Amino acid sequence: MNDTSVQSVSVSVENLHKQYRMGSEDVRVLRGVDLSVHQGEWLAILGASGSGKSTLLHLIGGLDTPDTGTVHFNDRDIYAGLSTAKRDRFRNQHVGFVFQFYHLLPELNVLENTMITGMIGPRRRELRDKAGALLERLGLSDRLRHKPKELSGGERQRVAIARALINEPDLLLADEPTGNLDRATGLTILDLFAELHAGGQTIVMVTHDESIAERADRSLTLENGVLAPH
């Protein structure tokens, strides 16, 4: 377990509230979440299905907007301090997302799916070389021209991880990254996360599985809209 006591805070969440309208009712998902994530930390957030884990992850990464509360990333308020366009740029440059269901574009091959989030960044030739190096690192150098339908679940998730890493994000957000995989394949993905973390990658991962959360430096539980130590 890493000692985060002397590390700077990468993400700071204060009094975060979020509710959604479902039919004729307002459903309060987050009820005043407070959270600090240190640079280089691997944090797991546990919670039952529907507890608001994904909502919290989306708010940390700027994919959604809170009703009230703040999210600071390296001392920058990503909601009060940034326009929507600037927040989109911030997310592209600083945050990588890994989802349970991969979200790969079926018409693109492995190399193209990896490159897609970096298209507004480096020149295409540099981006292609970078994507190829990432995919080789993840054991996919022989799959560059394959379409997602030609890949196993574990291979698709590794492509999704490569896509999340293409812009060298400061923060990697993982939403149930092993939830759509068999246990053996899921463990290989967790080993990959451990390797990234050992290299200094900051990771926030949500899961409902305690055995998966044990791989992280620290675990919190989201219940009744608030976070508590696990």
Q: What is the mean pLDDT of the chain?
A: 87
Question: Residue 1 — very low, low, confident or very high, per pLDDT cuts 50/70/90?
Answer: very low
> Mean per-residue pLDDT for 68-88?
88
Give residue 226's identity as a one-letter amino acid code: V
The pTM assigned to this predicted structure is 0.86
Question: Residue 7 — very low, low, confident or very high, per pLDDT cuts 50/70/90?
Answer: low
> Mean per-residue pLDDT for 191-211?
93
Residues 112-159: tens digit of each pLDDT = 989 887 665 557 778 888 899 889 988 889 999 999 999 998 899 889
Give the range among 5-19, 43-57, 124-138, 156-170 with minimum mean pLDDT. 5-19
Q: How do the domains of the chain map onto residue ranges? A: 9-229
Give the range among 101-105, 199-203, 216-220 with minimum mean pLDDT. 101-105
Q: Can you tell me which residue has the tokens 């022989």?
A: 142
Question: Residue 17 — very low, low, confident or very high, per pLDDT cuts 50/70/90?
Answer: very high
9-229: CATH topology: Rossmann fold (3.40.50)
Question: Residue 91 — very low, low, confident or very high, per pLDDT cuts 50/70/90?
Answer: confident
Please give the pLDDT value at position 204. 96
Please give the pLDDT value at position 48. 87
Alpha-carbon torsion angle 158, 161, 163, 169, nearest 10: -160
